Amino acid sequence: MSEAKFGPAGNSESFAAEGHRKSEDAPAWLAARGLTAFEYQCGRGVHVSAETAQKIGAAAAANGIQMSVHAPYFINLSSEEHERVEKNIAYVLDTARAAAALGAQRMVVHCGGQGKLTRERAMRNTHENVRRILRALDEAHLTGCTVCLETMGKKSVLGSAEEVCELVAADDRLLPCIDFGHLNCRTGGGMCTRVDVQRLFDRMENTIGIERTRVFHAHFSHIEYNDKGEVRHLTFADTVYGPDFLPVAQETAARGYAPTFICESAGTQAEDAAFMMELYRREIEK
C-alpha cells in the first residue's frame, strides 16, 4: 500500500541556520530527516531560472523527494477582466515551465477573491477560467503537472471545501489542495475533530470520487484567525488555534489514503512536517 508523503513549503529557518544557501541542497537535507516531499515557492512570482530548477529537480530525484510548486499568490481565477485573465494564464504557464524543470508533479493555485461580484458569478468565472488554463496548458504541451486548487482561509475569497470540490469535480485532471488550517479559519474552528475530518473526506469522495480523494494534495499548519478568517501562520508550538494534525492522521490512515502533506508552519515547516509524519506512521502501524 502506498503511503502519504510529507515535506515543507520552502525552506525552514534551520536550513539556513545550518549554513545552506541554495535550494538545490534542500532535497538531501530533507531526505536525511526522513521527509519525502518539497514544495517550491513561487508565490511572489516565478523567478527561478531553468538551470537552478533543473539542479533542484535532479537533487530531488536522487533523494526520493516528490516535488510540487506553488503558483503566484496574485492569481485571481474569479476575475472577468480580459487583461487579468490573460495574466493569470501567463502566470500558470510560467509556473508549469518551472514545474517541468523541477520535476514537480503538482502545482497549487489559489482560486481568487469574490470582490464586488456575487458568489455565484465569481464561481462561474472561476469555472470558465480554470477551463481556459487547462486549454492553455494543453496547447503549450505542459500537461505533466496536475493543477491543485486550494481551499482558502479568508471568508471573503472563494475556496471553501464545497467550492473547491465543485471546481475540481468539473475536470478529472484537477486535484484539490486541502488546506486544513485554512478550513479551520474560515469555519471558526470547524476542522478540529476527527468527525470534522470524516465529513470533509466523505464530501470529497462524494463529489470528486474516491480515486482522486485518496491522493489529494494538502497544506497543514496552525493558523491564527478572527471573524473574517485567516490572520497569520503559526508553528506547532501554538496551542490556541490549531488545528491538531492527529485527527487528520487517524482518518487518513484508517481510509488508506496516500495524499501529499505540505507543512506551511512559520519557519519550522520541516520540523513540523517530520512531527506530522511521525503521527501518521504511528497510525498506520496500529
pLDDT at 112: 86
CA 86 to chain centre: 23
- Does CATH number 3.20.20.150 belong to domain 5-284? yes
CA 186 to chain centre: 17
pLDDT at 21: 87
pTM higher than 0.95 for the full model? yes
pLDDT at 1: 64
Helix then strand then coil, % of the chain, to nearest 5: 45, 15, 35
- Separation of alpha carbons 98 and 45, rounded Å: 11
- Please list the rounded mean pLDDT of every run of 10 residues in the chain (286 residues): 93 95 95 98 96 98 98 94 95 98 97 91 96 98 96 96 98 97 97 98 98 98 97 96 97 98 98 98 95
Q: What Cα–Cα distance (Å) separates residue 83 from each residue in 64, 86, 90, 187?
A: 40, 5, 11, 33
Domain range annotation of the chain: 5-284
Amino acid at 43: G
Quick check: 222 and 236 in contact, CB under 8 A? yes
Q: At what angle do helices 194-208 and 246-255 cross, to 10 degrees?
A: 40
pLDDT at 279: 98
pLDDT at 110: 95
- Separation of alpha carbons 88 and 167, rounded Å: 17
